[in-house]
Amino acid sequence: MGRWSALVRLAIIFVVVNLVTALTSCSSTSPTKNTTFPVPANITLSPADTLSLDVGSAAQTFSASPQNSNHTAITTPVTFLSSNTAVLTLASNGLACAGTWDSLTTPQICTPGPVGIAQVTATSQGVSSPPTTVYVHQHIDKITVSPIPGQTPPAGPCFSKGQTFNYQATALSRGLDITASVGTFTWQSVNPSVATLTAAIASTPVTGLVVGQAQVTANTPGITSLFVSNSNVTSEPLDFATCPVQSIALAVADSTSPSINVTSGTGKTVTATVVDTQGNTITGAPLTWSSSNPATVAVSSAGAVTTSQAGGGTVVASCTPPTCNIRLQPLLPIYPESAVDVVVAPSSSTTTTSTTTPTVYVSSTGISSSPAGNCATSSGCTSLLIPLASPNDTVGAAVALPATPNSLVFDRQGAKAYMGTDFSFFGSRGLMAITVASPPTVAQFKSVTGKVLTVSPDGQKVILSGADPNTVPAPGSNPSPPATQVIVFDTGSSTGTTLPISGATAADFSPDNLKAFIAAGSSLYVYSAQDSLKKIPLTGPANAVSFSPEGAFAFVSGGSSTSSVTAWSTCGLTSALTTDVVLPATPSLLQALASDAPNLALPTFTSPTTITGILAVESPGIDLFRVARAPAGCSSPASAGTATFFNLGQGTFVPTQLIVSQDQSRAYVIGSDRGAVLVFNIDNQSSSAIPLSGGAIPIRASLTPDGTRLYIAAADGQVHILDTQSGGDVQQISFPTDATTLLSGLCRGVTFTCNPDLIAVKP
């Protein structure tokens, strides 16, 4: 037994020795390696600068980003440090405690500490971040904003542009002022263009102010709200008002004349003097510059007027919300004392009879009386749009339309023409936009139906009046459906907004595009993309609307229990005339003139006045009168002079259209029962007539920009071209028909003929 025990002991010793040898061999061939991290060039700490925390808060985590000399992030261990651990401690992961953590590696409980200030840094291998100052304070219940005492407040309820005023923020905790302990406040102006803020903070002091105070500078006219916040608590809003614009006066630079007379291709500059409600002249107000005929007379945002063809127009600069008189309720647009009238003569390289090469489009509503038929409701009928090709006004290639039109109206830029339609046929047809080209192209918007009443001056909105798009017509029926709704079509988004307006017959936009006045029976509606739809009840039916050239008034034919013309303030939507203009009969057509009408009776005003001439058509003639208003303010009073009636010398007639030349020298009246165009010379207040060849009855007319040619769609199935200078019907254009191909004038696919009754000359 003893021998075997000895052998066992020797075996155990041998195994142990071999194990030790093996372990020693492993250790010598695989030594432990130490990791080496790069040294950062800098460290950024977030949040930076300053921070405010409630006592006991544990919701803020700091993060650090070490970077090399190329400002590229690198990986290296970072340690977070607090300069005052009694006030603020940081866990290893950057989680802050406004007090003391129970553990820095696995923080769970944050024990509140005292109020105070601590600086936090992130360090790595001897490199430290810029410090963030942390203010630890009692919980903020409320923040108030008030003017700093000792300042002289403005004389009125607002500050003129450039004026400054100082405010201070106060932080309260259970009614106690703890402002001194909460650190930097964050100040905010909802609309910095109205008022700019310069807050005093530790890193950016403001002369005369301490932390928690700010200087506000008035800028763009309007109202903005000021807010102050700290530790996720925000003050109640404080409204700050930069004084609204009160008046705008326009003048032609380097000229004593209030108007511009130039040749095509040249121009001038218009300047604007702006006065606010405190009577102070201000500069840099964001005015909206507009032209009544931008295709002829263009104006830049700086008032530079350029011209491209013979004709004319008016230029205005207005203070238009939402970019001027911001956030005032109700809307407070301010229009100039008067518009600048621009008359453009042909350049020396052109003659008076060929100053333009017009683009003319002709179409038909598709209604025929012999035999009775309606292309819109006849199976297989296609309506056509035909251009008259220059220079000889020959019939161009026909363009097939996807729907039968009821109207044809160009935008003022001459870029697009819009054609409405009565029926959508369950969403298969709609408004057509014609792009001027050779050949023209047609885009269709199937969700929009109705007759085009007007297009906004900037071409962005089209107002249509028509039936519900789900109305189903009877086959072969002729009458158009009653107007039961109004649609405002946005040409930018290609979408329509339906307005609850029934029976709309006329509409016009203010020159700055802000508002449209829509006449519908005994109601006048005011549409604006910036405001809700307004309804003004009238005491009688209205049938025509026309804005004054500067935009302050909308003149309405009718709308009263007497035969009259009323005027409504664009700004205040109130009756503007001290006494309505009473005429022998309610005029069917109405047009405000860009130029003053001379040699007429004027109301008496003790202050400078703005004069607008008005034309109103009532058979057997035309009325001309003037309206004068005080030039400043929103709803400035106005008074009308005595109307002068001019008999046009052609007997009684049924007026259907009034056209005023761009240079405001002549007015043309179309009557549905007269084989001539009635002409009224505005300058010398005389009348004449231009008969149509064969005594044809004019249906619709359109004038060239230079005023030398009048294109007439007539009841004889032809387009008549009238020379307005010589006074003659110089050309008649017929449209082909072919029974074998069912080509019938301005439609195709039926046996009845569609005659021209829609016509438009490109501006």
> Which of 185, 210, 242 is the last residue before a domain boundary?
242
Strand, coil or helix: what is 741? coil
Q: 559 pLDDT exceeds 50?
A: yes
Q: What is the pLDDT of residues 654-691, one digit of tens each?
A: 999 999 999 999 999 999 999 999 999 998 899 999 99
Q: Label residue 484 left, alpha or beta by phi (over 0 means left) and psi (-120 to 50 means alpha).
A: alpha
Q: Are residues 226 and 251 in the same domain?
A: no
Q: Are residues 238 and 262 in the same domain?
A: no
| Residue 23 in domain | no
| Residue 364 in domain | no
> Which of 113, 137, 161 is the last residue before a domain boundary?
137
Per-residue CA distances from 417 to 435, 578, 589, 712 (Å): 7, 39, 23, 18
Q: Are residues 112 and 157 in the same domain?
A: no
CATH number of domain containing 123: 2.60.40.10
Query: CA geometry: angle at 722 spanning 717 and 725, to 5°?
Result: 175
Q: Are residues 87 and 101 in the same domain?
A: yes
Sign for the CA dihedral angle at 25, 26, 28, 29 comes to positive
Other CB atoms within a 10 A radius of the CB of residue 236 amount to: 11
Please give the average per-residue pLDDT across 711-719, as a whole number. 96
Other CB atoms within a 10 A radius of the CB of residue 352 amount to: 12
Q: Are residues 99 and 168 in the same domain?
A: no
Structure token digits, residue 538: 């009238």
Q: What is the pLDDT of residues 235-248, one digit of tens each?
A: 999 999 999 999 99
> Which of 345, 367, 399 is the last residue before a domain boundary?
345
| Residue 620 in domain | no
Rg of the chain taking only CA atoms, in angstroms: 39
Note whether 454 and 504 are within 8 A (CB): no
Strand, coil or helix: what is 180? helix
Q: Are residues 107 and 93 in the same domain?
A: yes
Q: Which domain holds residue 324?
A: 245-345
Q: Are residues 336 and 269 in the same domain?
A: yes
Task: Give 19's pLDDT tier (boundaries 50, 70, 90).
Answer: very low
Q: Are residues 90 and 102 in the same domain?
A: yes
pTM of the model: 0.86
The number of domains in the chain is 3
CATH number of domain containing 280: 2.60.40.1080
Residue type, 67: Q
Q: How many Cα atoms sit within 13 Å of 103 on the Cβ side? A: 4
Return the percentage of the chain with pLDDT > 90, whole number: 75
DSSP string over 637-679: -EEE---EEEE-SS-S--EEEEEE-TTSSEEEEEETT-SEEEE
Q: How far is CA 135 from its chain centroid?
A: 46
pLDDT at 5: 42
Element housing 25 (H / E)? helix 2-29
| Residue 115 in domain | yes
| Residue 299 in domain | yes
pLDDT at 230: 95
Lowest-pLDDT range of 7-16, 440-449, 550-559, 612-621: 7-16
Measured CA to CA, the distance from residue 144 to residue 310 in angstroms comes to 62
Block residue for tokens 């401690």: 89
Task: Give 34's pLDDT tier (boundaries 50, 70, 90).
Answer: low
pLDDT at 475: 67
Strand, coil or helix: what is 49? coil
| Residue 267 in domain | yes
DSSP string over 82-150: ES-TTT-EE-TTSBEESEEES-SSS---EEE--SEEEEEEEEETTEEPPPEEEEEESPP-EEEEEEPTT
Structure token digits, residue 357: 């090469």
| Residue 210 in domain | yes
Q: Are residues 129 and 198 in the same domain?
A: no
Identify each DSSP E strand in 399-530 by its residue range: 399-400, 409-410, 416-419, 431-435, 441-445, 451-455, 461-466, 485-490, 495-499, 504-509, 516-520, 523-528
Q: Which of 125, 128, 63, 129 shows the shortest CA–CA distance to 91?
A: 63
Q: Are residues 233 and 148 in the same domain?
A: yes
Q: Are residues 125 and 158 in the same domain?
A: no
| Residue 601 in domain | no
Please give the average per-residue pLDDT across 9-24, as a whole number. 38
Q: What is the pLDDT of residues 625-653, one digit of tens each?
A: 999 888 777 877 788 888 999 999 999 99
pLDDT at 354: 42
Please give the average per-residue pLDDT across 394-421, as a whole number. 95
Q: Are residues 92 and 170 in the same domain?
A: no
Measured CA to CA, the distance from residue 652 to residue 673 in angstroms comes to 9
Mean pLDDT for the chain overall: 90
Q: 537 pLDDT exceeds 90?
A: yes
Note whether 213 and 169 are within 8 A (CB): yes
